[in-house]
Amino acid sequence: DVVVEFEITSNRPDCLSVLGIARETAATLKTEFKKPAITVKEELKEEASDYAEVEIKAPELCSRFTARIIKDVKIEPSPDWMRKRLRAAGVRPINNIVDITNYVMLELGQPMHAYDLNYIKGNKIIVRRAEDGEIMKTLDGQERKLDSSMLVIADNERPIGVAGVMGGENSEINPGTETILLESANFDGISVRLTAKKLGMRTEASSRFEKGLDAENALTALERAAYLIEKLGAGKVCTGVIDCYPKKQEKRELTLRPEKINALLGTSIDANTMIELLETLEFKVDRDSMKITVPTFRGDVEREADIAEEIARLYDYNRIDATLLEGKSSTVGKKTRKQKIEDMIRNTMVSCGLSEAYTYSFTSPRILDRLRIEKDDQLRKTVVISNPLGEDYSIMRTTTIPDMLSVISRNYNRQIEETAFFELGYVYIPKELPLKELPMEKQILTIGMYGEMDFYDIKGIVEELLDVLRIKDYRFVPEKDNKVFHPGRTAQIVIAGEYAGLIGEIHPEISEEFETPERTYVGVIEVEPLINNAVMEVEYKQLPKHPAVTRDIAVLVNDEVLAGDIEQTISENGGKILEDIKLFDVY
């Protein structure tokens, strides 16, 4: 067999059927669309309403419930052609009655169910909300605990099916079944989705109902199933249909404005062509008033733009010329300053030999304990996620250091001797707790490296980045109070007199906790100061008239005097003729 796999979007449940795909194919290929035969003979003159009745107590969750009574049922295997088609669609054949309901579901997209009428107490179907704590055993043999948010199909005494999900074991078809109640109903998609999720059971039926089905299709599917039962000799159909339809589905009307459609699409399609295209999809168009009646199975068509989309795809997108927007709104796209600087940061990191990493913004509260963060530290004021995947992903991170250490640990423990990473990510700082407004999202450049390298390697990478961004006003200040870093091998980055980040060697105890190498170097740099101080426009200066003069200056100072302080003093007093300062020797 040739298998064609379609990816159906959630707004097109009508295409979750052979009929829906056939309709789209016929419209696309401009061929005849043939619907399956439906002619029910109703061999028995007995009225279906004499055998059963239906009451909907929760009309907000069940818009329609149709049923037929089938007598003299013969339970046997389905014919070979039906079994082959079901297997080809991934459905296991069971018996003729169950197979017919599954066949119609695949053919018309309407889930159905058959009940043994002898097991329906009082011969009455009641569509109601379940009672809290109510227990029911479904067809898979599992006992399910229900609650009042769930819709059930019940008789006078107990539930006999979970609406839109699965039938009950207490009313299933068996070899001795003689009379069945064939159900075809329409249930609220949200209710079915939530029920299936709570019970942990997603079925072919629930996956269709949750997308929102056409209530008008319920009766069509019921009649098609009754026709197949007669055709296969599986039973005799009683006269009449039990149809409980409290609030009939209204048809949506829209206006076709060809000039507006053409303006939107940039086409010149004539009105007759538009009408013919829509009619192939079963839209009805009044050519005098130009009113469009949308088919009930097309719940996704709500406005004029949706009509334009239908016309465009059938007309063929390839026939529509590409054009620019007209007027002042037509502009040339370009990157923002922030995006350009982000690209420069990434390119510089990669050129320095670093690999880009991506980590989750979610983390565990325990990670702050592993970093030895103080109890009253601002980093412990975190945004707690209300529906986390688990405790390990239950808060939004306020620091990126643990994530980088985890990346380094994973690589180190896989015998990778030397490597370096960077990440452009975000930390989330709440303005107040409990949250009253969205937290502040601070973009952070995180650098992590280990191997045959030292503090000056990571410092050199940062200096290269600052040089690429043409930031001149920066300096490195020793940092001894941060417990995450080694007290003698850590420095703050100060740009234009403001704190911009930290670089240094991770404290040995933290390295041991995260199982990273003893000499692990990490840098956390705030991106905002880089963006604010970067110079994007290059200004060229005239070449000097006189040759450069290089001076070597030897300074004798105490050990506690920093080289950076000496450089700053020279810079402040050097005047305009000073071009550059380099420390080339210490003795």
Query: pLDDT in tens for each of the 587 residues of the chain?
Result: 787 888 899 999 999 999 999 999 999 999 999 999 899 999 999 999 999 999 999 999 999 999 999 999 999 999 999 999 999 888 999 999 999 999 999 999 999 999 999 999 999 999 999 999 999 999 999 999 999 999 999 999 999 999 999 999 999 999 999 999 999 999 999 999 999 999 999 899 999 999 999 999 999 999 999 999 999 999 999 999 999 999 898 889 999 999 999 999 989 999 999 999 999 999 999 999 999 999 999 999 999 999 999 999 999 999 998 877 666 555 667 899 999 999 999 999 999 999 999 999 999 999 999 999 988 888 999 999 988 888 888 999 999 999 999 999 999 999 999 999 999 999 999 988 888 899 999 999 999 999 999 999 999 999 999 999 999 989 999 998 899 999 989 999 999 999 999 999 999 999 999 999 989 999 999 999 999 999 998 888 888 888 888 888 888 988 888 888 888 888 888 888 888 888 888 87
Q: Where in the chain is the domain with CATH 3.50.40.10?
A: 38-243
In the prediction, which pLDDT does 5 show? 84
Strands (E), 397-497: 419-429, 440-450, 474-478, 485-495
- Number of alpha carbons in the 13 Å side-chain half-sphere of residue 438: 4
Placement of tokens 């067809």 in the chain:
139
pLDDT given at position 212: 93
Instruction: Please tell me the distance from the alpha carbon of residue 406 to that of residue 51, in angstroms, as a whole number.
Output: 68
DSSP letter (8 states) at residue 10: T
Measured CA angle at 477 (ends 504, 562), to 5 deg: 110
DSSP-derived 3-state class of residue 412? helix
Cβ(532)–Cβ(473) under 8 Å?
no
Q: Which of 524, 515, 518 is nearest to 406 (CA)?
A: 515
Looking at 2-124, list the stretches that DSSP marks H as alpha helix, in order from N- to C-terminal side.
Answer: 18-29, 80-88, 96-108
CB 369 within 8 A of CB 400: no
Exposure b/e, 47-64, CB count within 10 A at least 16 = b: ebeebbebebebeebbbb
* pTM (two decimals): 0.60
Residue 305 tokens read as 């733009």
Does residue 209 contact residue 192 with C-beta atoms inside 8 Å? yes
Q: State whether residue 261 is helix, strand or coil.
A: helix
Q: In 362-427, where does DSSP find H-type helix?
A: 366-370, 401-412
**CA separation for the pair 511, 409 (Å, rounded):** 9
**Secondary structure element (H or E) that encloses residue 205, with its range:** helix 204-209
Nearest to 127 by CA among 144, 103, 150, 111: 150
Quote the pLDDT of residue 543: 85
> Does residue 187 contact residue 179 with C-beta atoms inside 8 Å?
no
d(CA 365, CA 379): 10
* Dist CA 368 CA 398 (whole Å): 9
Strands (E), 72-174: 113-116, 124-129, 135-137, 143-145, 151-154, 159-162, 166-167
**Domain 337-533 CATH class label:** alpha beta
User: What confidence score (pLDDT) does residue 331 get?
Assistant: 63
CATH number belonging to the domain at 252-319, selected among 3.40.50.300, 3.40.50.1460, 3.30.565.10, 3.30.56.10: 3.30.56.10
183 HSE (CA, 13 A, CB side): 33
* Residue 320 to residue 268: CA distance in whole angstroms: 9
Q: How far apart are CA 79 and CA 490, in angstroms?
A: 79
Interatomic CA distance for residues 238 and 69, integer angstroms:
6
| Residue type (1 letter), 449 | M
Give, to the nearest 10 degrees, the angle between helix 96-108 and helix 18-29. Answer: 30
DSSP 8-class letter at 89:
T
Furthest C-alpha separation in the chain: 117
Query: Do residues 7 and 96 touch, judged by C-beta distance below 8 A?
Result: no
Rounded Cα distance, 59 and 519, in Å: 68
Q: How many CB atoms lie within 10 A of CB 431?
A: 11
Distance CA 220, CA 226 (A): 10
Residue showing tokens 């004021």: 381
> What CA–CA distance (Å, rounded) separates 185 from 189?
12
Q: Cβ(241)–Cβ(52) under 8 Å?
A: no
Burial (Cβ within 10 Å: 0-12, 13-18, ≥19) of residue 264: middle
The single residue listed with the structure tokens 């939004």 is 396
Q: Which amino acid is at 247?
A: K
The dihedral over CA atoms of 132, 133, 137, 140, expressed in degrees to the nearest 10, equals 80
440 three-state secondary structure: strand
Q: Which of 157, 128, 156, 162 is nearest to 59 (CA)?
A: 128
340 CB burial (10 A radius; 0-12, 13-18, 19+): middle
Q: Where in the chain is the domain with CATH 3.30.930.10?
A: 337-533
User: What's phi and psi for 307, nearest 5 deg?
Assistant: -65, -45
Sheet holding 395-396, edge to edge: 362-363, 395-396, 383-384
Q: Decide if 161 contacts 152 (C-beta within 8 A).
A: yes
- The third-level CATH classification (topology) of the domain covering 38-243 is Phenylalanyl-tRNA Synthetase; Chain B, domain 3 (3.50.40)
